[in-house]
A and B are shown apart, each in its own frame.
Chain A
């Protein structure tokens, strides 16, 4: 098998299998969480559930993370706040606003959107990679993080780091021919897709899920049994 054939495999069959596993796996996780059970409203809520959801999103998603002194998110762990924030920014800019990635979405969803020029995406990707390395060191050094980090946390780091670093090397033609790194990039993406439902990286969906649930709880203003 040459690299071209391997690329075809990782872009074709393996990607399809990984994507289906990812979709099935995430649905499974959501169903399990939803079927854990719901609290029944024993009295009509005085507040608005929807309002609570909107408020929670505004506060928890759009305001608090960017006003670090209010909840002291910054002063508690500066490295985590800065590197974590930059990592998420770089990651989302790359996978949503990088041209090659937008074209992946377009092929899957059927529609595309304008993208950023390569140099900008490139810098953001570099920042995200640097942030990931910083976060790994932080995890190995910070006493609290050391206590709560098991193999799964390091696998999470590795499986996210590999697509980013292979993609970066590929874009810059640093080492190896393009199709070799393209294959490795696709392989690492396929592994990541399979890993996500089994790991805490699924927070990219569960974050919104739990925010919504909390929002309804905060907003309804009723007595819970």
Chain B
């Protein structure tokens, strides 16, 4: 890695000026700059928005070096990396990956063992305060972090060390963002999301299971181009992609309004493409871009394919009731024994109070009789 600019790097790789401008145009799309739900974003600054967005991006890429990225994996399944590398929109991913330089990635790095670790140390020193730290997977905090170690050091230690010199931190996937599956009740490893541990640095959450590759690259592109992080919601998710719910943009939404619901996965309603709300769809409370960006180059997304949304971009979605349990239903019904106890308590207290009243009535009557006689 040297200090050549992104444009110089691309030129060296044989990209023409036209290719370069196409990249700039693609980045505009990737960042969602022309998409409407940029709620409250300063990117709505008309000077950026109206005429020269692409020029501004081109200018930035011509003058900025590629951004070094350190990618750490902890309690994860590498699914987010898989989704990114196997994305069906290679042009976009390739183009975005051309603007960054992944210096350390446990799954992708060719080097192994001490060499890989040594390279990471070197990059962290050379680009202190400049690199982007991407975290995939949750961080176990129980047992002094003994549940996840790399090279004999705990995830907690590695994260704290890498976060110290990072310009920005991106937590990709629900595990890194909110703890994900490892955090599911009873959370034996004491798993936590990155932002629960690193509180003195900006952490952008890109939750999802896995995170949508285009959302991840769009967020990264924003940092590369503008040197800053996009506008975030209260869960530190970029507003551009997490500003609306799945339900808001769902192609089955008209059926919800009409009250047409699939009642099982193979009934007539399912075949007609009706709403999956009754089959447990979590779309109404799930903020993500699945319904608009979709997956596999815009081919489809779970709800379109006939499966209810699981709510994988929301905190604690594993503990948010059954996947096929309707969202309006209470998380769990009271145990029959608890209901029995409540009824029993009602009867007992009621009977005791009534007995008390009866005794008092008798006493009063007796006193009245006595006073009469």
Contact = CB atoms under 8 A, between A and B. Distances in A.
Contact of B330 (A12, A36, A120): A12
Contact of A104 (B248, B330, B334): B330
Interface string A153-185: 000000000000000000001000111001000
A163 to B, nearest CB: 13
Contacts of A115: 259
B315 A116 contact: no
B350 A28 contact: yes
Interface string B353-367: 110001000000000
A100 B326 contact: yes
Size range of the interface on A?
A: 35 or more
Contacts of B347: 27-28, 31
A61 B277 CA distance: 35
A145 interface: no
A15 interface: yes
A12 B332 contact: yes
B350 A99 contact: no
Contacts of B350: 27-32, 35
B299 interface: no
Interface string B327-344: 111111110001101110
A101 B358 CA distance: 42
Given A117-B259, A118-B256, A118-B257, A8 B346 contact: no
B354 A31 contact: yes
Interface in A176-212: 177-179, 182
B269 interface: no
A167 to B, nearest CB: 10
Interface residues of B, number: 46
Interface stretch (A16-24, A80-88, A134-142): A16-24
Interface string A116-155: 1111100000000000000000000000000000000000
Interface string A1-20: 01111011001100110011
Given A2-B235, A28-B350, A23 B339 contact: yes
B372 to A, nearest CB: 21
A107 interface: yes
B319 A99 contact: no
A16 B338 CA distance: 9
B248 A20 contact: no
A2 B211 CA distance: 21
A107 B285 contact: no
B338 A116 contact: no
A27 B353 CA distance: 13
Nearest to B361: A37
A99 B329 contact: no
Given A5-B316, A27-B347, A16 B334 contact: yes
A103 B346 contact: no
A99 B277 contact: yes
A220 B349 CA distance: 32
Contacts, number: 121
Contact of A31 (B245, B278, B284, B351): B351
Contacts of A29: 350
Interface string A89-124: 000000000011101101110000001111110000
A101 B326 CA distance: 10
Contacts of A32: 350, 353-354
Interface string B305-330: 00000000011100111000111111
B342 to A, nearest CB: 4
A25 interface: yes
Contacts of B319: 8
A45 B346 CA distance: 33
Contacts of B277: 99-100
A26 interface: yes
Nearest to A24: B342
A115 B97 CA distance: 50
B234 interface: yes
B330 A16 contact: yes
Contact of B328 (A12, A25, A101, A120): A101
B345 interface: yes
B342 A20 contact: yes
Contact of B258 (A15, A36, A118): A118
Contacts of B104: none
A28 B349 contact: yes
A28 B349 CA distance: 7
8 contacts: A20-B341, A20-B342, A26-B346, A31-B354, A99-B261, A100-B327, A103-B328, A119-B257
Given A27-B347, A100-B326, 17 more contacts: A4-B235, A4-B285, A4-B316, A11-B321, A12-B330, A20-B338, A23-B342, A24-B342, A27-B343, A28-B349, A30-B350, A32-B354, A99-B261, A99-B277, A100-B328, A103-B326, A104-B330
Interface of B: 234-235, 245, 247-248, 256-261, 277-278, 284-285, 287, 314-316, 319-321, 325-334, 338-339, 341-343, 345-347, 349-351, 353-354, 358
Closest A-B pairs by Cβ, 4 of them: A27-B346, A31-B350, A117-B259, A100-B328
